[in-house]
């Protein structure tokens, strides 16, 4: 896959940001590529954001600029759930925002109000916040990801942010750190030499989908096979893998293509390599449908048998979701006959858990704990 390089880099003109290792890594990696670098004040940056956001194709245009700035808010956030659907009790490090890849279904299109690619370089503040908040977590089983507001590895070749986070978490083996990606970038992991801690609390995670969804709806991403080759290399380097079938999309030839993808998974990975697989059906806020219709007029994913769920998101009708999930679960279990891989739903109803996964967790925390234990203790099967 082609790696992202911006046309322009804007750096917040503040000593902390200018001298941050993240900024220096990025400047080092773009040297000699003729990429314009400018230093601007916060007010000038805000003006520019406002102007770019007004452009018709602001979301596409904005990605050509990489903004290195400071996160003035919280770095560590709780993944937002709802009361009615079961969530996996996940935490997120908000280290960057936006993504150079172009998935038609991406919620960031409707969520972000800053069209630029953004990296937060005030890592001193990040680590100070993590120190305080994780110290006060009272033994809670915490899984933290970086792939919520961006792809965890899309800018890794520029910033090496994940490597820096791995160094930090190497000394905190009780917390699990998960990198979720649609790239095939593995240099950080294969080259990684731990400063003492092991790799036991690191999860490398790949998004999986049917071939046509990958081809037509996940533009500028690595192919499924490229991701799996990367995953296999990570396994060889000693890492644990997790996979995410999210969003599962009702597409032409769903069953056949899903079977192909799942066969491919087990061509490169054995069930023992995969700690868990999440399953989430395509869902979206109504505003996203309008954006998809304009930005990707050829995409038909927003036209299907949808209903409005009780989290106000549009989702497939319950029994359609059930049918889609059932196919994927059966296909996975054909390869994983010993149930080594923990399967779970992302934002699904207790009814769905009862119907397909043998019962619903009693709380979000219970599910989070189950997934945590699966990774830390690695029993043969849960």
Partner 1 sequence: MNKIINYEYRRIPLKDIDLSDDRCRISHKCVYAALEKSIGASGIINPVILYPYDGGYKIISGFKRADIAAAIDALSGGQGSIGCLIAGDNSAAERLLINICENASIRELNPIEISAALKKLSEFYDKPAIVENYLPLINMQKSEYIFNKYLSLDRLTADLKTAVVRGRLPVAAAFILADFSGAGQTAFASILNETRMGANLIVETARLLFETAMQYNKTAERILSDINYEAVITNKDLTTNQKTETIRGALNRLKRPMYESCLERFSGLASAFTADKISINPFAYFEKDEITIKFNINSAAGLEKKIKALNRLKESKLISEFLKEAGRE
What the block records as the tokens of 252 is 């032409």
For residue 208, what are the CA distances in angstroms to 88, 144, 151, 257?
A: 19, 20, 14, 12
Kindly tell me which of 102 and 322 has the beta carbon lying closer to partner 1: 322
For 330, the enclosing helix (H) or strand (E) is helix 318-335
Provide, rounded to whole angstroms, the least separation between the CB of residue 75 and partner 1: 32
> CB 186 → partner 1: shortest distance, Å?
39
Host H or E run for residue 364: helix 364-376
What's the start-to-end Cα distance of the chain, in Å? 36
Going along the chain, which residue ranges are E strands? 8-12, 36-40, 65-69, 76-78, 91-93, 96-97, 102-103, 117-120, 143-145, 176-181, 202-207, 218-219, 240-248, 274-281, 283-284, 306-308, 314-316, 342-345
Closest by CA position to 203, among listed 184, 232, 176: 176
Query: What's the min distance (Å) between Cβ of 160 and partner 1?
Result: 38
Question: Least distance from C-beta 318 to partner 1, angstroms?
Answer: 5
Among residues 326 and 334, whose Cβ is nearest to partner 1?
A: 326
Min CB(61)–partner 1 separation in Å: 12
In the complex, what is the shortest distance from the CB of residue 55 to partner 1, in angstroms, rounded to a whole number? 8
Comparing CB distances to partner 1, the nearer of 13 and 299 is 299
At its nearest, how many Å lie between partner 1 and the CB of residue 300?
A: 6
Q: How many Cβ atoms are within 10 Å of 132's Cβ, its own excluded?
A: 10
Write down the least CB distance from residue 319 to partner 1, Å: 5
Instruction: Quote the tokens at residue 308.
Output: 């409005």
- Check: CB of residue 170 under 8 Å from CB of residue 195: yes
User: Considering beta carbons, is residue 111 or 319 the nearer one to partner 1?
Assistant: 319
Q: Which is nearer to partner 1, 131 or 326 (CB)?
A: 326
Q: How far apart are CA 207 and CA 176, in angstroms?
A: 18
Q: Are 95 and 152 in contact (CB under 8 A)?
A: no
Which string of DSSP letters, residue by residue, matches 177-198? EEEEESS---HHHHS---SSS-
User: Least separation, in Å, of the C-beta of 217 and partner 1?
Assistant: 15
Is the distance from CB of 75 to CB of 126 less than 8 angstroms?
yes
Q: Which is nearer to partner 1, 18 or 295 (CB)?
A: 295
State the Cα–Cα distance between residues 176 and 199, nearest whole angstrom. 10
133 vs 300 by CB, closer to partner 1: 300
Q: Output the six-digit token pair for 157.
A: 């070749």
Residue among 85 and 169 whose Cβ is closer to partner 1: 85
Chain contacts with partner 1 (rule: CB under 8 A) = 56-57, 86, 294, 300, 303-305, 307-310, 317-320, 349-351, 354-355, 360, 362
Question: Minimum CB separation from partner 1 for residue 43, in Å?
Answer: 23
What sign does the dihedral 186-88-344-281 (CA atoms) show?
A: negative
Q: Judged by CB, which is closer to partner 1: 229, or 314?
A: 314
> Under a CB-based contact definition with an 8 Å cutoff, are residues 229 and 171 in contact?
no
Question: 86 or 164: whose CB is closer to partner 1?
Answer: 86
């Amino acid at each position: 896959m082609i790696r992202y390089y911006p046309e322009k880099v804007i750096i917040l003109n503040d000593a902390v940001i200018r001298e941050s290792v993240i900024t220096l890594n990025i400047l080092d990696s773009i040297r000699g590529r003729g990429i314009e670098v400018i230093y601007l004040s916060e007010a000038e940056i805000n003006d520019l954001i406002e102007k770019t956001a007004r452009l018709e194709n602001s979301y596409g245009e904005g990605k050509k600029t990489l903004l290195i700035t400071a996160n003035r808010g919280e770095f560590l956030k709780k993944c937002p759930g709802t009361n009615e659907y079961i969530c996996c009790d996940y935490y997120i490090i908000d280290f960057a925002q936006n993504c150079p890849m172009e998935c038609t279904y991406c919620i960031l299109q409707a969520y972000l109000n800053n069209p630029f690619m953004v990296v937060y370089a005030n890592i001193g503040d990040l680590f100070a916040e993590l120190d305080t908040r994780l110290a006060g977590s009272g033994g809670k089983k915490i899984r933290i990801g970086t792939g919520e507001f961006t792809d965890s590895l899309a800018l890794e070749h520029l910033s090496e942010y994940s490597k820096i986070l791995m160094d930090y978490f190497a000394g905190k083996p009780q917390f699990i750190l998960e990198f979720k990606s649609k790239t095939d970038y593995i240099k950080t992991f294969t080259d990684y030499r731990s400063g003492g801690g092991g790799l036991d609390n690191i999860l490398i995670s790949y998004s999986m989908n049917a071939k046509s969804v990958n081809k037509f709806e996940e533009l500028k991403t690595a192919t499924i096979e490229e991701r799996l080759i990367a995953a296999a290399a990570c396994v060889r380097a000693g890492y644990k893998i997790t996979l995410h079938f999210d969003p599962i999309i009702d597409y032409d030839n769903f069953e056949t293509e899903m079977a192909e993808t799942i066969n491919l998974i087990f061509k490169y990975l054995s069930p023992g390599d995969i700690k868990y697989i999440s399953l989430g059906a395509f869902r979206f806020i109504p505003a996203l449908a309008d954006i998809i219709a304009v930005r990707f007029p050829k995409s038909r994913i927003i036209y299907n048998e949808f209903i409005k769920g009780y989290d106000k998101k549009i989702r497939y009708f319950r029994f359609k979701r059930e049918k889609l999930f059932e196919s994927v679960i059966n296909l996975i279990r054909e390869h994983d006959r010993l149930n080594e891989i923990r399967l779970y739903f992302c934002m699904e109803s207790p009814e769905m858990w009862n119907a397909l996964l043998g019962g619903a967790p009693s709380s979000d925390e219970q599910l989070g704990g189950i997934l945590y234990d699966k990774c830390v203790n690695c029993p043969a099967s849960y």
